[in-house]
Amino acid sequence: MRVLITRPEREATTLATALSQRGHAAVIAPLFRLAVLHPPDDFAAALAACQAVLLTSANGARALAEASEQRSTPIFAVGDTTAATAEGLGFTSVTSASGDGAALGELVRQRLDPKAGPLVHVSGVDVAGEIAPEGFEVRRFALYEAREAEALPDSARAALGARALDAATFFSPRASALFARLVSEAGLADACRSVAAVAISPAAAEPLSALPFKSVVAAPRPTRQAVLDEIDRLPLPGVQEPETMSDTPPSSPPPPPVHIRRGLGFIGAFMTGIVAAAIVLIAAVGSLPYWPKELRLLWHRSVVAEPVPPPPPAPTLDTAALDAAKREINQRLDDLDKRVRAAATTAAQADRPPTADPAIAELRGRVDALESRPAATAPAASAPAAPNPEADKDIAALKTEIASLHTSLQSLGGSVDQIKAAANASGAANQKAVAGARASAMIGIAARLGAALETNKPFAADLALLQPFIQDDAKLGELSAALLPAAQSGVASRATLAAEFPAMAKAALADDRADDSFGERLLGKVKGVVSLRRVGPDVPGDSAEAKLARAEAALEGGDLAKAVELVKSLPPQTQRATAAWLGRAEAHLNAQRTVDQIAAHAVSLLGAAR
């Protein structure tokens, strides 16, 4: 299914990866932009005096990590995703309530003593409710702000307008209310009739009643895993639901009843057509002896001819945008093919020997006739020539005309040479134009391949667009062949590799600290459960911990190659934990290098054409 994700970009990327692993396609349309705020002056003192920190979102964990370098304070997280994010950021004591705010409050009452000190709640500016366990002193600090989008994101607008969505996810009442308002302002409320809304809680589902969704589902538990499970339970596109899955009554009236018309129907019409075709065929075969000889020969040839293969099945496209993109590429390829054929025709005409011009042939005949005329009419050499003034005048006039004809022939010859030179120049210009257009198309295809590498999706269809250009370009053929093994499955994106890095680093650090002694083996197992490592680009030394910290900083800065180089330099005992991640990262780098080489090759061809 095609699922709309309205979460902020970082959380949306992680959720899109989880959906892709379940066979769904994600459309990311963030409704909020997160901004980390500067902590107040008394935050450091409050953090030092508290007995624990309460986190109600993964963004709160990230904001806390930026506000303080302290990692030993106990963390109580509202859910597993928030807890995993805190562990990945280096916090050493993390406990998950695996639920909502009420579950977090109950966990605090069970594990902590109100007399042991106050609690610090790190949250955003806007919160759904205060976390205040009975008997505890809780101080809330807003360290980040989720700023609302002013208009519906373009990705959501296009997907709704094209009726290309099957489900939409909502993780807070604020996101649901904002989506309902922006969709109504964009005039796309009616496009929600074919979309199933999946909310993380009944409170998040309530604002969605303002839109005519096909169904509204609230997850039984307020966790991301529960939302994913509800998406998997939705009927696939084209499958009718046995019953409504909405927790709220639909706002639109039920569809009118369908009146079935009785008649032949599809099967009756099909059988009638078969019977009619059989009657026509029998009549044709029966009257075959009376056909003309040419028609009988044509019939026999058609009988022994090879059977016509059935037409290929019509391709099924997922979205209207993909269809438009393919049509545009096909039109450009057709235009390029026409221009290549025109250039080839022009070049062939320019290389063809000039044909005899009728005017030139006529002039040559007149010259030959005039040159032979005096010799034919001259008297015998032995006879004395009698003076003849009239003959002398004719001879002089003939010589003048012969000279004029010679001049005309030379002028016509020069014109023919000029015409041929102009044709050659025109052919060269056309060839340059065709080469420039081919190079421009290759640059566009390289851009599409580069974008596909960042979406975790196969790119075989984009790679197939290079086939028309490979025939006369051996280098392009080699580069295309290098991408072919990964085209059907795609490669892991940078965002996916960054999301997987903390778990890999935790396992690698545990393997690095475990040796043959009992104490080190025990420490290694503990490190495999609780992540305790320093982070940031300024961790000194050449230890595995320092290299992992610098690799993670390089990865967050967009330098995947440096991160791979640092992970490769880790001790041999960490290879078991890093092998899978390194393989996926190197596959991405190799594919990206090949796409960059295709783009560079296309740019060089474009420069040569100009």
Alpha-carbon distance of 527 to 508, in angstroms, equals 10
Q: Decide the pairing of beta strands 138-148 and 32-36.
A: antiparallel
Q: What local confidence, expressed as pLDDT, does residue 182 receive?
A: 92
Whose tokens are 């991405």? That residue is 588
Q: Are 588 and 491 a contacting pair, CB within 8 Å?
A: yes
370 token code pair: 């005039």
Per DSSP, 148 falls in state E
Among 520, 511, 535, CA closest to 92: 535
* AA identity, residue 91: F
Q: What local confidence, expressed as pLDDT, does residue 208 receive?
A: 92
Alpha-carbon distance of 144 to 125, in angstroms, equals 6
Residue 247, classified by CB atoms within 10 Å of its CB into exposed (0-12), middle (13-18) or buried (19+), is middle
Among 137, 127, 148, 182, CA closest to 33: 148
335 token code pair: 């235009």
Q: Are 451 and 566 a contacting pair, CB within 8 Å?
A: no
Among 236, 174, 232, 235, CA closest to 205: 174
Strand partners, 20: none
Q: What local confidence, expressed as pLDDT, does residue 306 receive?
A: 45
What would the pLDDT profile of 384-401 be if each residue is shown by its tens digit? 445 556 556 666 666 676
Number of other residues whose CB lies within 10 A of the CB of residue 580: 11
Q: Are 591 and 486 a contacting pair, CB within 8 Å?
A: yes
Q: What local confidence, expressed as pLDDT, does residue 332 receive?
A: 62
**DSSP element (H, E) containing 492:** none
Strand partners, 167: 3, 196
**Mapping DSSP to helix (H, G, I), strand (E, B) and coil, where does residue 166 land?**
coil
Whose tokens are 């000194």? That residue is 540
Q: What local confidence, expressed as pLDDT, does residue 196 receive?
A: 94
pLDDT along the chain (610 residues), means of 10: 88 87 90 87 91 90 90 90 88 88 89 91 82 87 88 88 90 90 91 92 91 93 88 76 41 45 54 74 70 63 48 51 62 62 56 51 60 48 51 64 63 59 65 75 82 84 82 82 86 88 85 57 52 58 82 85 88 87 90 88 75
What would the pLDDT profile of 173-190 be if each residue is shown by its tens digit? 889 999 999 999 999 999
Residue 360, classified by CB atoms within 10 Å of its CB into exposed (0-12), middle (13-18) or buried (19+), is middle
What would the pLDDT profile of 319-348 be if each residue is shown by its tens digit? 565 566 566 666 665 665 666 566 556 555
Q: What local confidence, expressed as pLDDT, does residue 547 receive?
A: 86
Q: What local confidence, expressed as pLDDT, does residue 534 receive?
A: 58
Q: Sheet harboring 25-28: ordered strands across?
A: 25-28, 2-5, 167-170, 196-199, 215-218
Q: Are 87 and 507 a contacting pair, CB within 8 Å?
A: no
